[in-house]
Structure 1
Amino acid sequence: MSKFRKELRSIFSLAIGLVLATILCVAVVAHTVIPSLSWPSAFVLGAVVSPTDAVAAESIMQSLGLNRRIATIISGESLVNGVTRLVAYRFAIAAVSTGSFSLLNASTQFMLVSIGGIVIGLAIAWLAVWLYRWADNPLEQIIISIITPFATHLIAERLSTSGVIAMVAGGICLGRQSANFFAANTRLQSYAFWRVIVFLLNCLIFLLIGIQLGHLGFGKSSVLLLIEYAALISLTVIFVRLVWTFAVGFLLRQLNRFLPFHYHSIPALLIIGWSGMRGGISMATARLSPRPPRLAALSPGAIPSSLSPLASFFLLCCSRG
């Protein structure tokens, strides 16, 4: 937790500033190269591909053995950026449906969703700590660990706040208290159980996306055109992340002359800039995106495609972006 607090500037720069910049740049590029894609739909696409994924980041970090400071920034970013994506996605969907957008309402909603999610997450975490202490065997504690995130997310969403932020806040609170109620045996069993669950869920998400894409019925020329679009969106996401990372790193280095900021070396910035892994969150969001009016013809034969499968195809190329 102390490492997380020390890197708050870097984490929030990536989780808020970079996500918003990515949404904007992807929307501009998508609307420019696909004229039939409206601005609201382009922003929906930007909101879908903008967040990094905590599970993908964790798996890559374990395989590469990154130093703890870089690992803290990457994992912290992937946990916190959910609220930025959520608010942007909600307002993009609303804009698609109503054709209107208010920056003031979006900013107010962002603050309310964030604060409300934190309060709810901490409250449910406090209750979960009591339940963990009441349970007296590993099986009961693992069952509580299954119920807690679902209950946290459902309650937070029911109260129109961020389920993602609520789970992150609750998870941080439980993580700090876990030594008081988790025995070593329970910790090992719980870790193994959740690794299997995460692996199965990721497999399911990619399987569903593959099934969806397989039933679109694109012609050969349409598939090639979609690949070109996917490559362009992927390059946009990668380019924006690299530029943002080095720009913020340079700014912190300059500010360090006046204030004690923590800044990173150029190799560290390159690793952070190249670590924007996409995964299950973006895939699931693309899968659930509503279908706007059909796009105009992408080839001599009109192709009935919609935003959700198009975004899913983009994400197949962006998942390692």
Structure 2
Amino acid sequence: MDIVFTVLILLLAVSVSGIAIRLLPFSLPLPLVQIAIGAFLAWPALGLHVTFDPDIFMMLFIPPLLFADGWRIPKREFYMARRSILMLALGLVFMTVLAVGYFVHALVPAISLPVAFALAAVLSPTDAVALSGIVGKGKIPGRLMHILEGEALMNDASGLVALKFAIAAAMTGVFSLRDASISFVIIALGGLLVGAAVSWLFSFASTHLLNLNEEGDPAPGVVMTLLIPFAAYLIAERFELSGILAAVAAGMMMNYTSVANAGPASTRIRAGTTWSMIEFVFNGMVFILLGLQFPHILGRALLDAHETSDVQVGLLIGYIAAVAVALYAMRFVWVWLLRWFASRGATKHGVANAVPGLRTATVTTVAGVRGAVTLAGVLSLPEVLKNGAPLPGRDLAIFIASGVILVSLLVAVVTLPFLLHGWRKHKDPHAAEETLARTMAAQAAIRAIDDVHETESADLDESAAAYAADVTARVMDLYRRRLASLDDEQESRDLARRAESLEFTMKLAAMRAERKTLLALRNSRTINDETLNKLMREVDLSETALTARRK
């Protein structure tokens, strides 16, 4: 019963956080509000303490979130930025493990070198979800945001694999770079293949067994999509491969399956709505769980240190500050060097003024916020060695990791708005291809309508043929006006857009009148709830399509 009560409280906290950011007189990022709510719930008087189990957390929360990110991320931009993403997700992670690991061991000799490497490994992954919540959508230039999202998708795996080998070194005292490198390649590629295979098998089964390409209840297919990330993660972990990369690969593969694109519209609408809700709830619970842990980890350690001496408190805070500065310095230098090498290559190809941008490097550095994966990773450190002795430096490593997470979030909240203020806005890089796609789709629709008209009118008499021609003209007029709004001539484009705007206003008013009348009929008991729900759904879908086109 306590578990049910705790889950209900966490769900309530997630919903309250969404309402709170709208009611606050000032703007605050949603993740920060959720962390604050979690910290409030950790107040001893409330008696709500949720034990953070890293294994359950990694299995329950991370796969669906990474699956959704992999499904959503633009694959073309991901491929175009593959070098930058791999250099950040692989190169920066391993350099961070080495450089920051040695730095932590030198700074705090009580933390053994393997544990210092483990701490550096869990501090390497970044959190794109927290970043999006802090800066909002569209604030960071598209190409840079794609790189940051791609890095966050990939560096969770590289960081946790590095953690695995660091823990093994701490437990056994043995480490082989050659064996670790070979194992990493096998673990990474195996995870990617498992994820892609699971997603493909789902597509095959749903198409041939569940008949999801036919109209019907979309619920079974949507529920199966919810199971894909968990299946990919668990199967990969069962074979000691990367479950995280399996979840990412399964999400990316979904873009190319028949169910995702060729199935009925009802399935896509239901799946989109379901996954939007899941992302909101799971992201919210992740940050609320973070907030629940911080008072117990940070507060307890600082209180214990205060009982010893104020110097000890200052020393602990100094450790957090020093490690955070080391991470920022390492990331800034790495990003600057990447941009410098890229600029040299561009100069050789005749591109003038191809110099690294200080603002871009700084934004990329500050945008590398740490999140829940870092906390889950550091809490997964074993408590004792094989001989039964306590793992030296474990509690201090957990304290430092928790502090760095909080610092990275606060630094991003404070500095990113200033760094992004006045950033030169570029035109939408995809505007031209969007116009081309809209034009070609409208032209294809007109041709299809014309073909249907010819087929259906072949055996009709004069009266029926005239009626069919009128229907064809009315349907085709929608696409002709759409083509006119995309025309290169400003005058015709403006005229078409004014007509479209008037049509939008009229249709919206008509749909709202429909909805008002349906509710009045239900309230007067002229129709029952079942009839109301059916007709309201039709109106809601029509309005959704209308407003989506408007946006």
Q: TM-score normalised by the shorter chain: which range applies?
A: 0.7 to 0.9
1:101 to 162, 175, 183: 175
1:223 to 283, 291, 313: 313
1:277 aligned onto 2:369: yes
Contact 1:286 1:309 in 2 (8 A): no
Q: How far 1:211 sits from its partner (Å)?
A: 2.9
1:155 aligns to what?
A: 235
Distance 1:31 1:260 in 2: 46
1:50 aligned onto 2:124: yes
**Aligned pairs (5 A) from 1:276-315:** 276-291=368-383, 293=390, 305-315=395-405
2:250 to 170, 177, 184: 170
2:113 aligns to what?
A: 39
SS at match of 1:171: helix
Contact 1:49 1:318 in 2 (8 A): no
Q: Structure 1 stretches of 5 or more lacking a match? A: 297-303
Distance 1:242 1:137 in 2: 51
1:189 to 246, 250, 274: 274
SS at match of 2:185: helix
Q: How far 1:318 sits from its partner (Å)?
A: 3.6
Aligned CA distance change for structure 1 residues 7 and 253 (closer, same or farther; 3 Å): same
Higher relative contact order (CA 8 A, sep 6+): 1
Distance 1:74 1:237 in 2: 16
Q: How far 1:20 sits from its partner (Å)?
A: 1.1
2:447 aligns to what?
A: none
2:96 aligns to what?
A: 22
Q: How far 1:37 sits from its partner (Å)?
A: 1.3
Query: Deviation per CA, 1:121-166, whole angstroms, max 9, x where unpaired?
Result: 0110112224555355454344323321111111101101101111
Residue type of the alignment partner of 1:192: M
Distance 1:282 1:199 in 2: 17
1:112 aligns to what?
A: 186
Contact 1:120 1:152 in 2 (8 A): yes
Residue type of the alignment partner of 2:344: Q
Q: How far 1:279 sits from its partner (Å)?
A: 0.7
1:249 to 317, 324, 339: 339
Distance 2:248 2:105 in 1: 33
2:328 to 230, 238, 252: 238
Contact 2:160 2:377 in 1 (8 A): no
Q: Structure 2 stretches of 5 or more lacking a match? A: 1-74, 385-389, 412-551
1:82 aligns to what?
A: 156
Contact 1:48 1:282 in 2 (8 A): yes
Q: How far 1:206 sits from its partner (Å)?
A: 3.1
Aligned CA distance change for structure 1 residues 213 and 27 (closer, same or farther; 3 Å): same
Distance 1:283 1:153 in 2: 19
Q: How far 1:63 sits from its partner (Å)?
A: 4.6
Distance 1:108 1:196 in 2: 38
Name the count of aligned residue pairs: 313
Contact 1:37 1:295 in 2 (8 A): yes
% of aligned pairs identical? 30
Distance 1:17 1:260 in 2: 28
1:203 to 288, 291, 296: 288
Q: How far 1:83 sits from its partner (Å)?
A: 2.2
TM-score w.r.t. the length of structure 1 is: 0.88
Q: How far 1:286 sits from its partner (Å)?
A: 1.8
Q: How far 1:306 sits from its partner (Å)?
A: 4.6
Aligned CA distance change for structure 1 residues 213 and 38 (closer, same or farther; 3 Å): same
Q: How far 1:252 sits from its partner (Å)?
A: 1.0
Contact 1:287 1:312 in 2 (8 A): no
Distance 1:259 1:281 in 2: 40
Distance 1:287 1:129 in 2: 36
Contact 2:111 2:392 in 1 (8 A): yes
Residue type of the alignment partner of 2:289: L
Q: How far 1:242 sits from its partner (Å)?
A: 0.8
Distance 1:244 1:234 in 2: 15
TM-score w.r.t. the length of structure 2 is: 0.53
Contact 2:122 2:374 in 1 (8 A): yes
Query: Deviation per CA, 1:160-211, whole angstroms, max 9, x where unpaired?
Result: 1101111111111113442333423431332133212221122123313433
SS at match of 1:91: helix
Residue type of the alignment partner of 2:304: F
Residue type of the alignment partner of 2:199: A
Q: How far 1:41 sits from its partner (Å)?
A: 0.9
Distance 1:189 1:250 in 2: 43
1:129 to 192, 195, 203: 203
SS at match of 2:136: helix
Distance 1:257 1:215 in 2: 54
Query: Deviation per CA, 1:56-114, whole angstroms, max 9, x where unpaired?
Result: 23323535622221111000000011221122111100000001110000110111011
Distance 2:350 2:112 in 1: 45
Contact 2:228 2:250 in 1 (8 A): no
Residue type of the alignment partner of 1:227: I
Residue type of the alignment partner of 2:345: L
Q: How far 1:16 sits from its partner (Å)?
A: 0.7
Residue type of the alignment partner of 2:328: I
2:85 aligns to what?
A: 11
SS at match of 2:383: coil
Distance 1:273 1:144 in 2: 38
Aligned CA distance change for structure 1 residues 13 and 88 (closer, same or farther; 3 Å): same
SS at match of 1:251: helix
Distance 2:217 2:288 in 1: 30
